Amino acid sequence: MIKLDLHIHSEYSSDGIGFPKDIIKNLQKKGLQGMAITDHNTLEGSLKAQKLAPKDFIVIPGLEISTLDGHMIALDVKESIDRELSIEETVEKIIDLGGTPIVPHLFRNMSGIKKDKLKRIHTKIPAIEVFNSCSVPHSNLKAAKVAKEFNLGGTGGSDSHDPTYVGYSYTVVNSTDYNKDSVISEINRKKTWGEGITLPLDYRRDRMIKSVKHYFQRGFRRI
């Protein structure tokens, strides 16, 4: 069994801190075998991580894209994708680039695409994030229920913006093949699921306050 945190932010996100090398080190200490750094609208952090990672640690390049309808994760892409496209256009762009689209934190107020938008794209995606450590447990339970309703696989990610909290949740892959393409294949076959624990309340509270402040500083523009 392989465990990977597939939703992490580094210093290359405007609201994140931490070097990719420290993220890798902390995940290894927690017994995880891989990750995807999914910084907001940039591949820079994940590409840096690929260069630094040891051979026995899986790094899937990725980013979290700000669409007109909410956030979308693109895994296994080699170039960034324009923000502010519709969710349908974004999914098509990811697929055209040979990547794998994943819907994170489906029910989050500011950045989740919600169930109505998911209905438009669910036949084009293999999985949604069923455990996000920054989300409240009830929200994760709802997301897991929706994944099963639409016959989708699941992923897990800490959504940590601080290396201290990476690995709190993870994607479980029933394999011992430490090959990036093998992991992606299992995700695309809808054979993965997300597990983990919720981040401490004080961290989630501070994250929420920081997010609201940044929202006002950006002139009421979502990240």
The dotted CATH code for 2-217 is: 3.20.20.140
The pLDDT tens digits of the residues spanning 122-171 come to: 999 999 999 999 999 999 999 999 999 999 999 999 999 999 999 999 99
pLDDT of residue 43: 97
Q: Find where tokens 């990610």 sit.
A: 157
pLDDT tens, N- to C-terminus, the chain (223 residues): 999 999 999 999 988 899 999 999 999 999 999 999 999 999 999 999 999 999 999 999 999 999 999 999 999 999 999 999 999 999 999 999 999 999 999 999 889 999 999 999 999 999 999 999 999 999 999 999 999 999 999 999 999 999 999 999 999 999 999 999 999 999 999 999 999 999 988 777 766 666 655 555 556 566 7
pLDDT of residue 221: 60
Residue from 203, 158, 199 nearest 64 by CA? 158
3-class state of residue 109 by DSSP:
coil
CA dihedral sign of residues 105, 209, 213, 170: negative
Phi and psi at 40, nearest 5°, equal: -70, 110
Q: Where do the structural domains in the chain lie, given as residue ranges?
A: 2-217
E strands present in the chain: 2-8, 34-37, 58-59, 62-67, 70-75, 100-103, 127-132, 153-157, 169-173, 193-196
pLDDT of residue 200: 82
Angle 154-57-76 from CA coordinates, rounded to 5°: 50
Q: Per the structure block, which two tokens stand in for 83?
A: 């923000």
pLDDT of residue 110: 82
β pairing state of 34-37 and 2-8? parallel
**What is the spatial order of strands in the sheet that 193-196 belongs to?**
58-59, 34-37, 2-8, 169-173, 193-196
pLDDT of residue 85: 98
Alpha-carbon dihedral 83, 166, 99, 147, rounded to 10 degrees? -90
List the beta bridge partners of residue 131. 156
Q: Per this entry, what is the length of the chain?
A: 223
